[in-house]
Amino acid sequence: MSTGIGPPPGIAIIGAGATEQGEIPDESPEVIAVRASVAALRDAGIDKSAIDGLITCKAPLTTHGTDEGMGPLLGINPDYSTTLDYGMAGFSLHLAAMAIQAGLASTVLLTYGTNARSAKIGFSRPIGGSAEWAALAGFLHVAGPAAMAARRHMHLYGTTEEQLGWVSVAQREWAALNPRAVFRTPMTIDDYLAQPYVVEPLRRADLTVISDGGAAFVVTSSERAADLHDKPVHLLGMAQRSAIRNEQNEDKLMRPWLGGIADQVYRNAGLGPDDIDLAYLQDGTSVWVLQMLEWYGFCGVGEAGPFLAEGHTRPGGRLPVNTHGGQLSESYTHNWMHLYEAVAQLRGAAGDRQVPAAEVALHAQTHDFWKGAATILSTRSAA
């Protein structure tokens, strides 16, 4: 285990761009990513010629979105370029920071585009590894293991379906304030409970929307950022953990290893859960939010149900979570829009859903049962 004690990374985001989210039927993932990149470069106030690093993220279950596919469209030959199979904002961001710190690049563009909805990409394959065994048991789609984790949480801690429902209901309240969100129709807790099960105890609202869309970011050193942008968003701490032994791990479904990411990211940033003004928790399912509230120390292990029901994550609550609506209401885009929203909030540019005086945001993502990454972000350059 790494001790993970290090200086603040000295890295900042100076550009953020996103396309519309939902249905983009006539564009490839690459073209969507290009549009997001144009927006990010414009936001950063730099020309593409200033980009000397490119990190692209593949569109899941496709061959789209490699750096070699993006290069001819972006018209750049960056010194450093690579592709992550699962970059999904957090991992891509960390790799950009590493590339800058290693002296491989000074100004890195991160891109992602997907047309998963229009291309009807099938996500009902077994998830969580050991695909053959899962398929033979009809154990398909992330909803399966997530439902199992939720059931276990209910058994151990007395968590109720209504308490879990507040993840989705709160995020729908946020989405109502977000013109970009796919699902903006109001949903009460009674509406939630009236929905039929998909994989019991999970309902439709507990599972991400599948959508098209793209996002891009420009990342540079905090030193350069000060000259380029009036509101750079600094990385105060980063941490990752993997659990790639997968089924061999003692407790795969409840993901206690996320606690290790939390410990390390707080230590690296010199901050704790009480210092976090906004939390962006990847929510392919509502269960991931339930788990991460606990592992990131916003409440005790087993206490996320009551914490949610008390309304802390809702608009006006003391820990706004996924203020754009998240993957449950805004769009899928695999956690990239969580980072986009974090940047917007920290810059004070989140419109009707702006959280007053928000200074520090946690961006926490997980690749389901395999790995996770967390970043603490702030317009302050040090804790």
Binding-site string for other proteins from residue 80 to residue 119, where x marks contact by CB under 8 A and - marks none: ----------------------------------------
Which of 131-139, 232-240, 255-263, 304-312 is the region at the interface with other proteins (rule: CB under 8 A)?
A: 131-139
Q: Cα–Cα distance between 199 and 134 in angstroms, integer?
A: 15
Q: How far is the CB of 190 from other proteins (least distance, A)?
A: 20
Work out whether 267 is an interface residue with other proteins (CB under 8 A): no
User: Between 120 and 155, whose beta carbon lies closer to other proteins?
Assistant: 155
Binding-site string for other proteins from residue 39 to residue 68, where x marks contact by CB under 8 A and - marks none: ------------------------------
User: Between 141 and 371, whose beta carbon lies closer to other proteins?
Assistant: 141
How many residues belong to the chain? 383
Task: Give, in degrees to the nearest 5, the angle at Cα 234 between 37 and 368.
Answer: 70
Instruction: Tell me which of 186, 194, 242, 245 binds other proteins, using CB under 8 A.
Output: 245
Work out whether 256 is an interface residue with other proteins (CB under 8 A): no
Work out whether 242 is an interface residue with other proteins (CB under 8 A): no
Work out whether 138 is an interface residue with other proteins (CB under 8 A): yes
In the sheet that 11-18 helps form, which strands lie side by side, from edge to edge?
Answer: 80-84, 53-57, 107-114, 213-221, 11-18, 233-242, 371-378, 360-367, 278-281
Work out whether 349 is an interface residue with other proteins (CB under 8 A): no
Instruction: Tell me which of 197, 351, 380, 382 binds other proteins, using CB under 8 A.
Output: 197
Q: Is the bond preceding 201 in cis, omega lying within 30 degrees of 0?
A: yes
Q: How far is the CB of 209 from other proteins (least distance, A)?
A: 16
Q: How far is the CB of 185 from other proteins (least distance, A)?
A: 21
- Give how far Cα 18 sits from Cα of 140, 196, 304, Å: 31, 33, 31
Restricting to residues 146-165, name those near other proteins by CB under 8 A. 147-149, 151-152, 155
Count of residues binding other proteins (CB under 8 A)?
A: 30
Residue/partner pairs of 47-50 with CB below 8 Å, 24 or more apart:
48/74, 48/75, 48/76, 48/109, 49/76, 50/107
Instruction: Tell me which of 8, 65, 87, 145 binds other proteins, using CB under 8 A.
Output: 145
Dihedral sign from CA coordinates of 120, 124, 127, 132: negative
Please provide the DSSP assignment of 292-324 as one string.
HHHHTTSS-TT-HHHHHHTTTTSTTSSS-B-TT
Q: How far is the CB of 244 from other proteins (least distance, A)?
A: 11
Of the candidates 215, 232, 248, 278, the one whose C-alpha atom is nearest the C-alpha of residue 107 is 232
Sequence-distant (≥ 6) Cβ neighbours of residue 154 within 8 angstroms = 160, 161, 201
Instruction: Tell me which of 196, 227, 316, 356 binds other proteins, using CB under 8 A.
Output: 196
* Six token digits for residue 28: 């490839």
Confirm if 283 and 171 have CB atoms less than 8 A apart: yes
Q: Cα–Cα distance between 22 and 144 in angstroms, integer?
A: 25
Work out whether 143 is an interface residue with other proteins (CB under 8 A): yes
Q: How far is the CB of 45 from other proteins (least distance, A)?
A: 46
Q: Left if phi > 0, otherwise alpha if psi is -120 to 50, otherwise beta: which for 335?
A: left
Confirm if 340 and 326 have CB atoms less than 8 A apart: no
Instruction: Tell me which of 47, 68, 132, 274 binds other proteins, using CB under 8 A.
Output: 132
Binding-site string for other proteins from residue 198 to residue 217, where x marks contact by CB under 8 A and - marks none: xxx-----------------
Q: Cα–Cα distance between 342 and 347 in angstroms, integer?
A: 9
Work out whether 195 is an interface residue with other proteins (CB under 8 A): no
User: Between 122 and 179, whose beta carbon lies closer to other proteins?
Assistant: 122
Q: Which residues bind other proteins (CB under 8 A)?
A: 124, 130, 132-141, 143-145, 147-149, 151-152, 155, 196-200, 245, 247-248, 253
